[in-house]
Amino acid sequence: MTIVAIIIILLMALLGAPLFVVILAATMLGFLSADVDLAIIAAELYRLAETPLLLALPLFTFAGYILSESNTSTRIIRLTRVFFGWLPSGLAVVSLVACAVFTAFTGASGITIVALGALLLPALIQEGYQEKFSLGLVTTTGSLGLLLPPSIPLILYGIIVQQMELGQKFTLPELFMAGILPALLMIVLLALWAAWTSRHLPLRRGAFSAAEAVAAVKEAAWELPLPVFIVVGIFGGFLTISEVAAVTALYVMLVETIVYKEIKAQHLIKVITDSMQMVGGILLILGVSLAFTNYLVDAQIPMHLFEWVSANVDSKLTFLMLLNVFLLILGAILDIFSALVIVVPLIVPIALNYGVHPVHLGVIFLANMQIGYFTPPVGMNLFIASYRFNKPITELYQATIPFMLILLLAVLIITYVPWLSTWFIR
């Protein structure tokens, strides 16, 4: 009977059943085979509902959806172009910074490609960059902001690991701080690559204009306080994560609907509906995944997995290298939310036994997921960019390879120099 049930669950997954249904079925099968009351699944859902950090997830998601539906992307590009456009390969740097900021607040790499790509790709080509380079830049930079606060994947990782109660505690502000230097490292390495590859191109660079700077700041004046809310509120210790999320969501809604008037009341209802459907899906998957994690722990599967890994991997350095390979493959075949809820409960206990701090592991995980977004053959950003720019997928494969190699170098540095992620942890 158990074998038949496993085959049915596998068929459900292959036929495209919702992820939460597959995980829930596997969880129920596991508990039934262990003679455990299925009420424990409801208990896990209730425990999730009591998580203090949980409130931040829908609020930041709502704020990100509003920003993605307004003209914030245009204002971000204008602002970054004023202050970075005069640099060598200035527009490439503008693309890197603008995409990272936009993804950090919207939490979605694909939205960044759709919203900013239409503006940046023609501008890059018009300024003199080669089309192949421009395609690769826009496709790869869409995921850069996943390590920057208030990234939704960062929050989700924090919730999952804290629910596991592994004994090595950390706060979400610490996780936010951990991603800043690695994200900056990626941006700097890509900027240096852009400057090197375009050194012989006849690029048109504009001089810094104080008048344009004032105009750009004035245009985005109502959105500029958003990073301040996070930096001062969270890192200054004045507000909790949930309070910052509430302030951000309320402020963004008022600014985009009343001040800029870019989102009408009717459209606001649709934004609320879409964002909460997204959150509902995440929470449903997260709830049943935590129940599944409970079963895995009871069945000592992480312990058996660790024993197997320990018998075959004799050093922390080797483990980290294999972990990176595994995560890169994972990122190419799974979306980031599915990867978080399925894989994190398995790899965190193993990583802790190798002496990897959970904060450092979170940065490694998300840094690899960033690259997975555009890893052939099925990286999600490749297909989004192919559709958005009407280009063959094979052309995007070729365009993104140099950027992938640069970011792989960054991942190796992030992996083997843990100080970049844990410098503030005593």
**Tens digit of pLDDT for each residue in 309-357?**
777 787 888 889 989 988 888 877 777 777 887 788 888 888 888 889 9
Mean pLDDT (the chain) is 82
- pLDDT, residue 134, reads 87
If we measure between CA atoms, which residue out of 360, 361, 365, 357 comes closest to residue 331? 365
- Rounded to whole angstroms, the Cα distance separating 247 from 63 reads 10
For residue 22, name the pLDDT band (cuts at 50, 70, 90). confident
- pLDDT, residue 341, reads 79
H or E stretch covering 363: helix 358-372
For residue 378, name the pLDDT band (cuts at 50, 70, 90). low
DSSP strands (E only) in 10-103: none
Of 72 and 411, the one with more pLDDT: 411
- pLDDT, residue 69, reads 85
**Cα dihedral 81, 84, 90, 96 in deg (nearest 10):** -80
Q: φ, ψ for residue 192 (rounded to 5)? A: -65, -40
Q: Which residues contact 275 (CB under 8 A, 6 or more apart)?
A: 58, 61, 62, 64, 65
- 182-209: average pLDDT: 82
- pLDDT, residue 426, reads 66
The 3-state DSSP class for residue 165 equals coil
The 3-state DSSP class for residue 4 equals helix
H or E stretch covering 190: helix 172-197
- Rounded to whole angstroms, the Cα distance separating 178 from 173 reads 9
Of 33 and 219, the one with more pLDDT: 219
For residue 190, name the pLDDT band (cuts at 50, 70, 90). very high
- Rounded to whole angstroms, the Cα distance separating 388 from 79 reads 24
Flag whether pLDDT at 1 surpasses 70: no
- 235-263: average pLDDT: 86
- 118-146: average pLDDT: 84
- pLDDT, residue 206, reads 64
- For residue 228, how many other CB atoms are within 10 A of its CB? 10
- 278-291: average pLDDT: 77
Exposure string of 61-75, with b = 16+ CB inside 10 Å and e = fewer, is bbbbbbbbbbebbeb
Long-range contacts of 197-200 (CB under 8 A, 24+ apart): 197/133, 197/402, 198/89, 198/92, 198/128, 198/129, 198/133
- pLDDT, residue 369, reads 87
**Tens digit of pLDDT for each residue in 41-83?**
777 777 777 676 677 888 888 888 888 888 887 888 888 878 8
- Rounded to whole angstroms, the Cα distance separating 34 from 27 reads 11
- Contact by Cβ (8 Å): 110, 139: no
- 298-319: average pLDDT: 76
Count Cα neighbours of 271 within 13 Å in the Cβ-side half-sphere.
25
- 266-280: average pLDDT: 86
